[in-house]
Amino acid sequence: MRSIIESITKKIKHEGHDWVFTSQDFLDIGTRTMVAQALSRLVKQGMIRRLDRGIYDYPKYSKLLGALTSATADNIARALASGDRIFPSGAVGANLLGFSTQVPAKSFYLTNATTRTRHIGGYTIKLERARVPLLDNVPDHINLVIQALHYLGKHNIDDIIIKRCARILRDCDLADLRCAAEVMPRWMVDTIHKIEREKFKR
């Protein structure tokens, strides 16, 4: 057990403060039972903190606040994803790209896995299955554009948004989007074609 605790401690310190994790992150070190026991001991020692059933973090002490820092919603969401890819919601994407001035809740994330919701650390974290799948092996800004366009919907995409997308997306990005056409609604494929025509004009 001592060697398992030492190995888990080493991995936690390597990931650094504010890391949020589950027992699954250590199954390469020991069995579920052994990992659970080791984490329980580290909680009692005060090295890590138990946020909820099966969710822990490695908090950092803030001298300014005189207390341990709180886990962020983003870090909790990544831990809940258990290796599945997650991404900001289409509403967040639209805001980040300047398509919308609405500031959405940041505890809503998209995933290619099943939809689930957890209440942890004062946050309500929702992982929702994306209606337009998140693309693998592409830069993040491509998925950001896809999800933002889907969030806005067919009737809310004007020339200003088309021009903005043409500035954001490179030729290689548009090639990736053409390859992903089969997973998009027809109206989104038409929108991509409009973006290509706008970019060609420039």
How many distinct structural domains can be found in the chain?
2
Q: Which distant-in-sequence residues (6+ apart) come within 8 Å of 148 by Cβ?
A: 90, 93, 94, 96, 97, 99
Identify the domain boundary among 45, 71, 97.
71
Q: What amino acid is encoded at 35 in this protein?
A: V
pTM over 0.95: no
Structural domain span for residue 46: 2-71
* Same domain? 15 vs 92: no
Q: Which 3 state secondary structure label does DSSP give 55?
A: strand
Structural tokens at position 128: 């929702």
Burial tier of 37 (Cβ tally within 10 Å: 0-12, 13-18, 19+): middle
* Same domain? 98 vs 182: yes
How far apart (Å, rounded) are the C-alpha atoms in residues 17 and 6? 17
How far apart (Å, rounded) are the C-alpha atoms in residues 138 and 122? 33
Q: Which distant-in-sequence residues (6+ apart) come within 8 Å of 174 by Cβ?
A: 192, 195, 196, 199
pLDDT tens track of the chain, all 202 residues? Answer: 678 899 999 999 999 999 999 999 999 998 899 999 999 999 999 999 999 999 999 998 888 778 888 899 899 999 999 878 889 899 999 998 999 888 776 678 999 999 999 999 888 999 999 999 999 999 999 999 999 999 999 999 999 999 999 999 999 999 999 999 999 999 999 999 999 999 877 5
